[in-house]
Amino acid sequence: MTATLAPPVRAGKAAVGALGLLALASGALESVVQPTLPLLQRELDMGPTEGALLGILLPITGALVTPLAGRFGDRYGGKRVLVRLMIVVCVGGMVSALAPGLPVLLAGQVLQGAMVGALPLSFIVVRKHLSAGQSKVAIGVVSGLFVGGGMLGTLLAGPVAEQLSRHWMFALPTIAVVVATLLVNGLVPADSADRSDDAGVDWPGLVLLSGVVITLMLVLNLAPDLASQPLLLCGLVVLLAALVAGWIAVERRAASPMIDLRLLARPMVWKSSVLTFTICVGTSMAIFLVTQLWSASGAGYGFGAGATEIGLFLVPSTVVATLAGPLGGTWERRSGSRSVATAGVVIMAVALIAMAVAHSEAWYLVVGKALVALANGLVVTAMTTGVATSVAATETGVATSLILVTRVLGMASGGMLGGVLLAAGTPAGSDVAAESAYTIGFVIAGVVTALALFVTRTMYKGVKA
């Protein structure tokens, strides 16, 4: 297929601004659960494990929807699929806002998970309607605003939930998503389909990937009970291995695979995916552990902070994350992916280990969380921009969906692992995890993050990567 050198219609600043606003609003809606988990646990009578489950349902759905969104965007046009996808997200946001209890709230989170698929669809649009240099800037801005929106939602969710109600913390960002979707529909030019294949949906691959993700979460959830349920845990591990093997076999034979393994095998793509996963595991564990520690009231540790205070503690992280996105994209264009990734991994690993050692003052955690946000913004934005601009325009949706899938899986795994560690470290008859559980959690997150240095040292130096 011959690539078109110049798109027939150029996207103006207003169109890019609409996509950025949609990313900002979607990021805010995605992030409101994590900082308010203590409040939701109290109001809905949830334990740490149930709280972690609530926090990971949305990213799990995102991991399943995003590859399909990227594939459909490449096939039928990014804008067309984007608008329809956001209608589902808006419905999910309203379901969460009106939810009377945990079951309905879980259903709303599942529907909201479709929002993660908006990013590869936005990247498809900008690559079709902007030049190569302009598309790099636009992709960096959209990615950065999504991360910044996440920090904004984290910041405002607590005060809104406490001053109004938990219902409004879902309703307000949902209204913003509705407005942004209308602007995208009106301002963004339509893009034509790049592929005319009629291979259909890779349903076997989708079902097997769903089994992989759900089984992985069960394995993490049952890990603390290894001594009492070893056969069950071993059975789940065997099932997970079988599902992964079956999924790989199906994807290799599929005419139109949900996740193109040949694309994933490219060095730039798989290395970026590994780095994104590890950095997001560290980020998610840090978010969960820090917010729980701020709200905890243990003997000699914890600060008993409410949702509003936690939101104020996260102000520096919000500012840093918003700036880190564009900075990561610019740094990657000038110095290459290796320097950005190495710096981000080192910053995050040091911050996590530092919080394991020193967490007796609230401001220690404020600084540590800000450094984690900086590292996450640098690495994820640089990896996404690098991959999006290193493949053909007709592969933009599929390629970036791989990075986003690893991002949501990393966030899901980190959040669940944090919940499991605190649940395992909670003494019998107590509702507060022991201080050692937080220390161990920060150390594990730091070690997992540092392991990514084995990948960064194999990347090309300079902009060639």
Q: How far apart are CA 206 and CA 203, in angstroms?
A: 5
The CATH code belonging to domain 13-191+258-456 is 1.20.1250.20
| pLDDT of the residue at 220 | 66
Which residue type does 249 have? A
Residue position matching structure tokens 């933009």: 396
Which residue type does 326 have? P
**Spatial CB neighbours of 230, under 8 Å, sequence gap ≥ 6:** none
Residue 177 buriedness (CB in 10 A; 0-12 / 13-18 / 19+): buried
Q: How far apart are CA 6 and CA 406, in angstroms?
A: 32
* Contacts by 172-176, CB closer than 8 A, 24 or more apart: 173/25, 173/28, 173/29, 173/32, 173/93, 174/29, 174/90, 174/93, 174/94, 174/96, 174/97, 176/21, 176/24, 176/25, 176/28, 176/29
- What angle is formed at CA 73 by the lines to CA 69 and CA 79, rounded to 5 degrees? 110
Contact 224, 424 (CB under 8 A): yes
Q: How many CB atoms lie within 10 A of CB 80?
A: 16
CA dihedral of residues 77, 83, 86, 91 (deg, nearest 10): -130
Nearest to 214 by CA among 247, 242, 245, 240: 240
Q: Write b or e for each residue in 261-277: b if 16 or more Cβ atoms lie within 10 A of its Cβ, otherwise e.
A: eebbebebbbbbbbbbb
- Structural domain boundaries in the chain: 13-191+258-456, 202-257
What is the residue-level pLDDT of the chain in tens, covering all 465 positions? 444 444 445 666 788 888 889 989 988 888 888 777 778 888 887 776 677 677 667 777 877 788 888 878 877 777 888 999 999 999 999 999 988 888 888 888 888 888 888 888 888 888 777 766 667 777 778 877 887 787 788 778 878 888 888 889 999 999 999 999 999 888 888 776 655 555 566 778 778 888 887 787 667 666 655 556 677 778 888 888 998 899 888 888 877 777 777 777 788 888 888 899 999 999 989 988 998 888 887 777 888 887 678 778 878 887 887 778 777 767 777 777 788 888 999 999 999 999 999 988 888 999 999 999 899 888 888 888 778 777 776 777 778 888 888 887 787 788 778 888 888 788 877 777 888 889 999 999 999 999 989 888 887 665 444
CA of residue 395 relative to chain centroid, distance: 21
Residue 297, helix vs strand vs coil: strand
CA of residue 170 relative to chain centroid, distance: 18
Contact 330, 434 (CB under 8 A): no
Residue 8 buriedness (CB in 10 A; 0-12 / 13-18 / 19+): exposed
| pLDDT of the residue at 173 | 92
Give me the phi and psi of 302, to 5 degrees please: 85, 165
Nearest to 301 by CA among 356, 359, 354, 353: 359
CA of residue 352 relative to chain centroid, distance: 19
Q: Write b or e for each residue in 347-373: b if 16 or more Cβ atoms lie within 10 A of its Cβ, otherwise e.
A: bbbbbbbbbbeebeebeebbbbbbbbb
Q: How far apart are CA 61 and CA 107, in angstroms?
A: 11
| pLDDT of the residue at 268 | 82
Give the DSSP letter string of 125-188. HHHHHS-HHHHHHHHHHHHHHHHHHHHHHHHHHHHHHHHT-HHHHHHHHHHHHHHHHHHHHHHS
Residue 77, helix vs strand vs coil: coil
Q: How far apart are CA 243 and CA 247, in angstroms?
A: 6
| pLDDT of the residue at 409 | 78
Cα separation values, 220 from 48, 234, 246, Å: 13, 12, 21
Contact 367, 333 (CB under 8 A): no
**Spatial CB neighbours of 258, under 8 Å, sequence gap ≥ 6:** 67, 68, 71, 201, 202, 205, 206, 209, 251
pTM for the full predicted model: 0.78
